[in-house]
Amino acid sequence: MKNTYKIFTLILVFSMLAWNVEAQKSKKQDIESIKKMCGCFKIKFSFAETFSPIRGYEYRNNYYSGALEYAMPVEVSKDKIVIQHLLVVNDTMIIKHWRQDWLYENTDIYSYHKDNVWKYQSLSKDQVKGQWTQKVYQVDDSPRYEASGSWIHKDGRHYWETRADSPLPRRERTTRDDYNVMIRGNRHEITEDGWVHEQDNDKILREAEDKLIAQEKGWNTYKKVAESECQPAIDWWKENAAFWSDVRGEWDNVFAEKKTLESTQNINGKMMMFKLFGLGDEYSGEQYKQEEAKKKIGEVLKVHTSQDKRISAK
């Protein structure tokens, strides 16, 4: 009996060790895949509405766009990778673009509800075991959407996919009001020359119940080019990195409350985005006044965000 128990214990120990080795191997592949999303890229965005259950629905025109974009890892640790995207316009003009954070086995999620309200959700450790959360932020580092999923490495392919509720995309935010939530079907797949962001999106009118307005297909390609083509973005970031690091830090203080969050972009005709970008122009370069800048950043966020809003009133 004792020998049987010893054999069972040894089998269990070796099984746990084997699982741990495989998990670490998989995590290493995950990190390698995420880092391959960094670099200088020629990007092309394509979207087409494909279906609507509404009789007589007028399909919107297909959307196409392209640009040169630099994506850089601005924060890297064993369980977190922060990637900042910068647009390069006309070879010299730099526009701070979106940001994506990747967190390993993260249990804190801000799930988009509607009308610029995000609900905090705590996931269990079992729910996120071996998974990565992708948190996507807007140009002013305010929240956009996030979800947890597994990277898959199989048959020579490397991809991550999940679904997440989100606000309207910028391309439609000011042109239509027939839906108020986009449920994004996201797939990020690494390719030989870059990566592809494939989307299968539902455009939803969220009221008492969700009503599907239309579905669309998105195909965004990131083709890697020489790093030198994005040198203006690299130079711009050196001048502005400290300020935007503190913006991220102040937003982290807001998220740390772990409560329902409402973000109001426009107050009395003044946009939060433009306030922060104005501060960025004021506080940049080698003579960065950090404490002064952080105080002003915090004041802007306090005015434009609120906690514990009664969603039932929406």
d(CA 248, CA 139): 11
User: Is 5 part of any domain?
Assistant: no
Range of the domain at 301: 37-313
User: Is 54 part of any domain?
Assistant: yes
H, E, C per residue of 264-277: CCEECCEEHHHHHH
pLDDT single digits (tens) 127-183: 999 999 999 999 999 999 999 999 999 999 999 999 999 999 999 999 999 999 999
What is the reported pLDDT for 306? 77
User: Is 292 part of any domain?
Assistant: yes
User: Is 133 part of any domain?
Assistant: yes
What global pTM score does this model have? 0.90
Q: What is the pLDDT along the chain (314 residues), one digit of tens a residue?
A: 666 666 655 555 444 444 455 557 899 999 999 999 999 999 999 999 999 999 999 999 999 999 999 999 999 999 999 999 999 999 889 999 999 999 999 999 999 999 999 999 999 999 999 999 999 999 999 999 999 999 999 999 999 999 999 999 999 999 999 999 999 999 999 999 999 999 999 999 999 999 999 999 999 999 999 999 999 999 999 999 999 999 999 999 999 999 999 998 898 889 999 999 999 999 988 789 999 999 999 999 999 997 544 333 33
The total number of structural domains in the chain stands at: 1
Residue recorded with tokens 């030989």:
192
> Can you name the residues that pair with 109 across neighbouring β-strands?
121
User: Is 11 part of any domain?
Assistant: no
d(CA 221, CA 168): 21
